[in-house]
Chains A and B, each alone.
Chain A
Amino acid sequence: MGGAGVTGTFVGMPTFPVAARRALGDAQLRHNLGQATATIRAKRQRLVEEVDAAVPTSAADPQGLGGWEALRRAGAAVKEAALRSLPEHLERLEAELVANGATVHWARDAAEACSVVAAVARAHGVREVVKVKSMVTQEIGLNEALEAEGVAAWETDLAELIVQLDEDLPSHILVPAIHRNRAEVREIFLRRMKEVGRAAPDGLGDEPAALAAAARSHLREKFLSARMAVSGANFAVAETGTLVVVESEGNGRMCLTLPEVLVSVVGIEKVVPTWEQLDPMLRLLPRSSTGERMNPYTSTWSGTAAGDGPGEVHVVLLDNGRTRALADEVGRQALRCIRCSACLNVCPVYERTGGHAYGSVYPGPIGAILNPLLNGVGHDDQVDSLPYASTLCGACFEVCPVRIDIPSVLVDQRAQVVDAHRGRRRSGEAVVMRLAAATLADEGRLGFAERFTGVGLRAARRGAGWPGLRRWTGARDLPRPPRESFRAWWRRTGGGTR
């Protein structure tokens, strides 16, 4: 893993089209994803409508910005303002944290962050840590890094536990095991729990309650024995040095309160200046992610508190490509992301390929822009393929609670991919595109090309054709070529009669 490498977890993944092709052939995956995303989309939609319905439409809202749209704009504004004065807010956050008894570490990249966490584990002589579900620790490949130091990191979020037990990779931000159904989960629990801790009970069924109970007793053992926990944070409130974690299961709170030592890895973009500004975020996040009005558990902690919770608290403030993204004029808005997954759930591409095809812990539309932004483009075909993993249909932008214009960032990232390859090896695509540009820009040449299109279509329909065409004709007929182009018709008739 290089300095700017986002994660070690997905190393060596094929490009999106190749991985997608494989995923599309997995009937079980397609079914599981279709069901799960449809359910969560409907839940979110109901709540958005509820927010809109709660706001009486009136003259006070002349621009027609109803409740939800107003909330989105507020959320986007909070994050945007925080990003504009990031250094100032981070310094405040650090000062408050230190004043509250926490130790603050700054990490430029994944390797630095992992070594901080490993050093804390070493200092306390722990062989295992419990983990709160967190994207950033996956981003930096923390579990693998700790394992290399002989420290076992146990995921305690139910879906993360499923993925970890199966030695699988996460495929969704919120529901990393979304690609699994309950029959598969039962099988994983029966097969694997006994190898790493308390076994699943004999005769385990696949009812959600039974599976949750099995996970609970398996995890309870870990909570009670672990002396160190690792978390991320959904938000970091600068004015009081407070980290915030929202979750549904309560397992995160166990990790945050039971062990003696707590290390939280926090991306620098997570900072919000004040509690007041946290307010719209905490209303947007649960509605957009789990489709709930409020998440069941909201844990907040500001450093250490005598006799309450961990006595030693570390906070690792992580860059790992974020300042690079921040410098990107168009792409920087991606740092507003609150990892709600609404864009995944609504994405027609994600719904069909699942998350693994994106080759990163950040899949779906946000992954398609965030990975190139954090890593840079032009040096890895896998990363370069991601901005193209979209039809630019715009459904993601429509649901994003912080109004990240993902389609515009995708187009900009595509331009950066193309630019990065300018003057290097000439790809077939670049040649075709330049030829097309020259043809399309000139009326005379365009007229010629139209005649050529007719000839080409006729030949292709007869079965001749070039290999690239098969990508079209594999599943779709070509249109019948017209007798004459529109242009020719207009010239002939002046737009008179057909």
Chain B
Amino acid sequence: MRVALLVTCLNDALRPGTGQAVVSLLRRLGVDVDFPLAQTCCGQPLVNTGYLDEAVPLVRSFVRTFESHDAVVVPSGSCAGSVRHQHALVARRAGDPGLATAVEEVSSRVHELSELLVDVLGVTDVGAYYPHTVTYHPTCHSLRMLGVGDRPRRLLEAVRGLRLVDLPAAEECCGFGGTFALKNADTSVAMGFDKVRHVRGTGAEVLVAGDTSCLTHLGGMLTRQRAGVRVAHLAQVLASTEGDVWGEPA
């Protein structure tokens, strides 16, 4: 099976380790991973801030880049949600029926990482080893926009050496919200601190989530607090094996 990776801007620029973990994990599972270099941003930051016209070229570029692939994997619930739920909106705005059709066609083949693993590849035990106590934050867009349900949990529970502890108020938003974190910085921080308080209360060493955006926000608070809790993307946990445990990118 040939799968194209949409790595997302944040992972590309700030957390390349996430993308590397996806590649390593999928190759271990026998998947042929391709990274189309022509890929750009999915347009979510623009759409969510209200700049729909500006997002049109990005949607066109997305369709062009990925239309020939069987499946696209995205290590982000938020970006997968943006492609599946917002690209149609942008295409309608562009008033281009051809684009709308293409968007519908391509976005149906776009999967968030846990969806690809569980639904497309049919695995929950990916053969990972991660000897740490972790807690999992289900990010809002994977939870409510995509409805990934308990897939990430099932994947984590199958990881050897991993002890998963429940996060209280897990389904509450962490306060990142894209440009919300800047436009409404005070509220964003108030929400983030509450999330971090719950995380610290679990006694976990590692906070795991499927979105680098939320992890950058929460991770930034955890290090500011010298909390002694690190963050890891779901992909990094699942990519880890006995000989090769993935941590934060160096």
Name A's B-contacting residues (CB within 8 A).
16-17, 20-21, 24, 348-349, 352-353, 387-395, 397-398, 408, 411, 413-419, 429-430, 433-434, 436-437, 440-443, 446, 449-450, 453-454, 457, 468, 471-472, 474-487, 489-491, 495, 498
Contacts and interface: CB of A to CB of B under 8 A. Distances in A.
B184 A486 contact: no
Contacts of B182: 468, 471-472
A392 B217 CA distance: 16
Contacts of A491: 37
A397 B20 contact: no
A415 B56 CA distance: 13
Contact of A440 (B37, B49, B58, B249): B58
A390 B184 CA distance: 9
Contacts of A408: 89
Interface string B68-94: 000000000000000000100100010
Nearest to A468: B182
A453 B48 contact: no
8 shortest interchain CB distances as A-B pairs:
A391-B177, A476-B220, A414-B50, A393-B173, A394-B144, A440-B41, A437-B54, A418-B50
B50 to A, nearest CB: 3
Contacts of B41: 440-441, 446
Given A477-B220, A482-B17, A24 B40 contact: no
A416 B52 CA distance: 10
Given A437-B58, A476-B224, 13 more contacts: A349-B191, A389-B187, A414-B48, A416-B50, A418-B49, A436-B46, A443-B40, A453-B13, A457-B14, A475-B220, A479-B220, A487-B12, A487-B35
B186 A495 contact: no
A16 B187 CA distance: 10
Given A446-B41, A487-B37, A477 B12 contact: no
Interface residues of B, number: 75
A474 B185 contact: yes
Contact of B58 (A441, A449, A481): A441
Given A17-B186, A24-B186, A436-B46, A482 B15 contact: yes
B221 to A, nearest CB: 5
B187 A395 contact: no
11 contacts: A389-B187, A392-B180, A394-B141, A415-B51, A433-B46, A450-B12, A471-B182, A475-B224, A479-B15, A482-B15, A485-B16
Contact of B190 (A24, A419, A481, A498): A24
Given A17-B186, A443-B38, A474-B185, A411 B221 contact: no
Given A482-B16, A491-B37, A495-B33, A388 B173 contact: no
Nearest to A388: B183
Contacts of B43: 440
Given A393-B177, A475-B221, A443 B19 contact: no
Contacts of B219: 477, 479
B143 to A, nearest CB: 8
A415 B149 CA distance: 30
A393 B190 contact: no
Nearest to B65: A443
A388 B51 CA distance: 13
Nearest to A420: B50
A489 B40 contact: no
Contact of B13 (A395, A419, A485): A485
Nearest to B183: A388
B133 interface: no
Nearest to A20: B187
A495 B184 contact: no
Contacts of B86: 411
B20 A24 contact: no
Contacts of B155: none
Contacts of A457: 14
A484 B13 CA distance: 8
Contacts of B9: 440, 446
A390 B181 CA distance: 10
A440 B216 CA distance: 20
Contacts of A442: 40
Contact of A392 (B57, B177, B224): B177
A154 B21 CA distance: 65
A495 B16 CA distance: 11
Contacts of B240: none
Contacts of B210: none
B219 to A, nearest CB: 7
B194 to A, nearest CB: 8
A393 B171 CA distance: 10
A437 B184 contact: no
A450 B50 contact: no
B48 A392 contact: yes
Contacts of A348: 172-173, 175, 191
Contacts of B250: 482-483
Contacts of A395: 140, 144, 171-173
A349 B187 CA distance: 7
A17 B51 contact: no
A442 B39 CA distance: 8
Contact of B217 (A411, A446, A476): A476
Interface in B72-126: 86, 89, 93
B2 to A, nearest CB: 13
A418 B137 CA distance: 32
Contacts of A477: 219-221, 223-224
A437 B51 contact: yes
A475 B193 contact: yes
A390 B220 contact: no
A486 B177 contact: no
A353 B9 CA distance: 31
